[in-house]
């Protein structure tokens, strides 16, 4: 279930904020219980993750493009959130068709807007979460992704340089060294490293050490990154940033 757990870790915070997926209290409780280590059936958590349509549509596209049966295969989920070689086999034309088909209709973009967004996709685009944030944006209408929200919605990364322990809370404040996303003429760039405070939920990730490289989503740590994952996240983020430099 590792792929499902990774999908849940990255999907939990936008779901909790109400930006995607079913918002019934039972769904939120199942999500939280699963990530906290309680025994939840695989079928039950899969059904909830499938309602996070933005991410799930990409999982299906990446899986199909690589001949992988399960959209929640760990390699597929990592490809979307972090990036890996599976993205190289997703044709841009398939990406455009998916955006028009999956992200238009009631509760989503108008058909005209979906077609317009698809037509403007750079040819170098990869089916990565940071592409979705910076190029496509919100498709549910529950949030307007602009300004600082772009930086906290994309998957960022940083080095843990300090943290504040709070014995009465499961969530700690962690200081990371981090490159912020910056708007500039013609597109975006990654700025000079700064210190940033993010949150670490110990129920989800029991241990984080000084010096760890971590992935962040909505100002929360979602994963401790190995060197390979760190390189891939940097690579596929930069591909998206470079594609917008026109």
Q: Where are the domains of the chain?
A: 2-136, 148-243
CA separation for the pair 154, 99 (Å, rounded)? 18
Task: Look at residue 65 in the predicted model and tell me its pLDDT.
Answer: 98
Q: What average pLDDT does this structure show over 49-61?
A: 94
Q: Over the range 114-134, which residues count as b (16 or more CB within 10 Å of their CB) and which as e?
A: beebbeebbeebbbbbbbbbb
- Split at pLDDT 50, 70, 90, the class of 88 is very high
- Split at pLDDT 50, 70, 90, the class of 176 is very high
Q: Is the pLDDT reported for residue 74 higher than 60? A: yes
Q: Is the pLDDT reported for residue 238 higher than 90? A: yes
Topology (CATH level 3) of domain 148-243: OB fold (Dihydrolipoamide Acetyltransferase, E2P) (2.40.50)
- Split at pLDDT 50, 70, 90, the class of 166 is low
Decide: helix, strand or coil at residue 159: strand
Q: Over the range 48-57, which residues count as b (16 or more CB within 10 Å of their CB) and which as e?
A: bbbebbbbbb
Q: Is the pLDDT reported for residue 168 higher than 60? A: no
Output the average pLDDT for the chain. Answer: 90
Query: Which pTM was predicted?
Result: 0.93
Q: Is the pLDDT reported for residue 167 higher than 60? A: no
Class of residue 62 by CB neighbours under 10 A (exposed 0-12, middle 13-18, buried 19+) = buried
Q: What average pLDDT does this structure show over 98-121?
A: 92
Q: Is the pLDDT reported for residue 185 higher than 80? A: no
- Split at pLDDT 50, 70, 90, the class of 169 is low
């Amino acid at each position: 279930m590792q792929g499902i757990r990774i999908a849940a870790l990255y999907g939990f915070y936008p779901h909790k904020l109400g930006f995607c997926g079913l918002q019934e209290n039972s769904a939120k409780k199942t999500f939280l219980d699963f990530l906290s280590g309680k025994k939840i059936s695989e079928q039950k958590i899969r059904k909830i993750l499938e309602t996070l349509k933005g991410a799930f549509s990409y999982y299906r596209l990446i899986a199909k493009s690589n001949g992988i049966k399960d959209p929640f295969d760990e390699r597929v989920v990592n490809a979307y959130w972090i990036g890996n070689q599976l993205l190289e086999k997703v044709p841009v034309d398939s990406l455009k068709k998916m955006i028009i088909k999956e992200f238009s209709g009631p509760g989503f973009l108008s058909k005209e807007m979906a077609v317009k967004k698809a037509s403007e996709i750079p040819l170098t685009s990869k089916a990565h979460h940071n592409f979705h944030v910076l190029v496509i944006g919100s498709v549910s209408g529950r949030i307007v992704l602009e300004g600082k929200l772009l930086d906290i919605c994309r998957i960022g990364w940083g080095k843990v340089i300090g943290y504040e322990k709070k014995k009465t809370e499961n969530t700690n404040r962690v200081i990371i060294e981090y490159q912020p996303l910056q708007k500039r003429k013609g597109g975006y760039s990654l700025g000079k490293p700064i210190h940033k405070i993010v949150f670490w939920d110990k129920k989800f990730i029991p241990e984080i050490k000084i010096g760890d490289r971590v992935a962040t989503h909505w100002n929360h740590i979602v994963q401790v990154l190995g060197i390979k994952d760190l390189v891939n996240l940097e690579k596929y983020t930069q591909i998206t940033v470079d594609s917008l430099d026109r």
